[in-house]
Amino acid sequence: MKNTYFKNLPIGYVSSLLLLLVCLLFLSAQTKNSPEPISVPKIEPQSQEKLLGAELYYQQMENYQVRVYLTKYISATAAPIRQFETVALYEREAFMLHSTLQLEQECAAEISPAAIACGQTPGLRKVTYSVLTMLSPMPGGFDITWGQCCLDEALLVNVAADKALDFALSVHLPDPMDGKINSMPYMEGLPAHLLCANEQQVLTLAAKDEDGDQIAYSFSTLFSQESIAKKGGNLAMPTNPENAVYEMPKLTGRPPFKPMAYKPSFSALRPINGTGCQLDEQSGQLSFETSLSGHYLIGLTLKDFREKQLLSEHQCVWLVEVI
């Protein structure tokens, strides 16, 4: 080839320049036709989620299978609903973390509360997560835990705190080798989360048990995410399934947990300061009257009995606002 345009340059050098130009044009065309890069989902801070209630429970099945459920009640105006939640399984006798599980969102329903005379009742969402897992025999069984962080301590009337509250829920799963199959009772819905002060309140806790076992209701102590034993308490990073939305872990330390402190005149058995505060153990009917406005964090425990034998118990957390 005769060097016509670059007479002072060797022909081989000019050929290399032309080859480089062709490669650059090819790469430019490929870039234009390539899809947009996949964006990483934004992690929403946990504090943006206004939690109004939560419950952790399980259903045992044959062949050592267990389905773990987490139900959350959140404000309808909260941040986008999470698709996954994380729970931890601890070996009770070994005092060690066995594994973590990712619960996937099963359903989300909008709930319209009944109107009240003293204010506007905002809507809420009931979101249920679950996962099916198979557990091997384990002496002493497992403790399943879940934690929620960043409840605003300034809003709470009954619980003493000098910083944002982190609370934990925990349920005990007996050794699968025991051969007992039981489905824990669960709340069909939490009571109203907005009430009027200076009015006599009569609310009914409605729970369901798939096995038809007898259910008992009671108030119970709230627990923080801090372990009593200092050996536990570290956050563990969960293993997410493929295509899961990666979020900050909310795992707790291992049980037993430290109980929350209550302000004067309040206690686990007296979480609402008022007159005639009573909870019927058998019917689940709760009655009280209070003149003190504000937010109350309440622990409610469900127990199920079969032939007078206690099978399980677990706690529901309920946040109620009195205006």
Q: How many alpha carbons fall within 13 Å on the CB side of residue 98? A: 23
Q: Which of 169, 205, 213, 202 is nearest to 188 (CA)?
A: 205
Regarding predicted confidence, which is higher, 48 or 199? 199
Report pLDDT for 123: 82
Asked if 85 contacts 115 with a C-beta cutoff of 8 angstroms, the reply is no
Which residue is it, tokens 């209070």? 290
CA distance 240 to 211: 32
CB 204 within 8 A of CB 286: yes
Q: What is the structure's pLDDT at 255?
A: 87
Query: pLDDT tens digits, residue range 34-57?
Result: 443 333 333 344 445 788 999 999
Give the helix/strand (H/E) hosting 21: helix 11-33
Q: Which single residue is written with the structure tokens 């907005």?
A: 194
Least confident of 111-120, 141-150, 189-198, 285-294: 111-120
Cis-peptide, bond into residue 256, ω within 30° of zero? yes
Residue 323 has pLDDT above 70, yes or no: yes
The string of pLDDT tens digits covering residues 210-243 is 999 999 999 999 999 888 875 443 444 444 444 4
pLDDT tier at 165 (50, 70, 90 boundaries)?
confident
Closest among 50, 66, 280, 266 to 183, alpha carbons compared: 66
Mean pLDDT of the residues in the chain: 81
Measured from the Cβ of residue 269, the count of other Cβ atoms closer than 10 Å reads 13
Mean pLDDT of 20-38: 49
Residue (of 249, 260, 192) closest to 221 by Cα position = 260
Lowest-confidence pick of 81-85, 117-121, 309-313: 117-121
Residue 216, both tokens:
């008992």
The domain ranges of the chain are 46-322
Q: Which residues are CB-neighbours of 187 under 8 A, at least 6 positions away?
A: 55, 71, 205, 206, 207, 300, 302, 316
Give residue-wise pLDDT tens across range 274-284.
Answer: 777 899 999 99
**What distance in Å separates the CA atoms of residue 237 and residue 16, rounded to the nearest whole number?**
52
pLDDT digits (tens, 9 = 90+) for 246-295: 344 455 678 889 999 999 999 999 999 877 789 999 999 999 999 889 99
Report whether pLDDT(1) > 90. Answer: no
Q: How high is the pLDDT of residue 8? A: 54
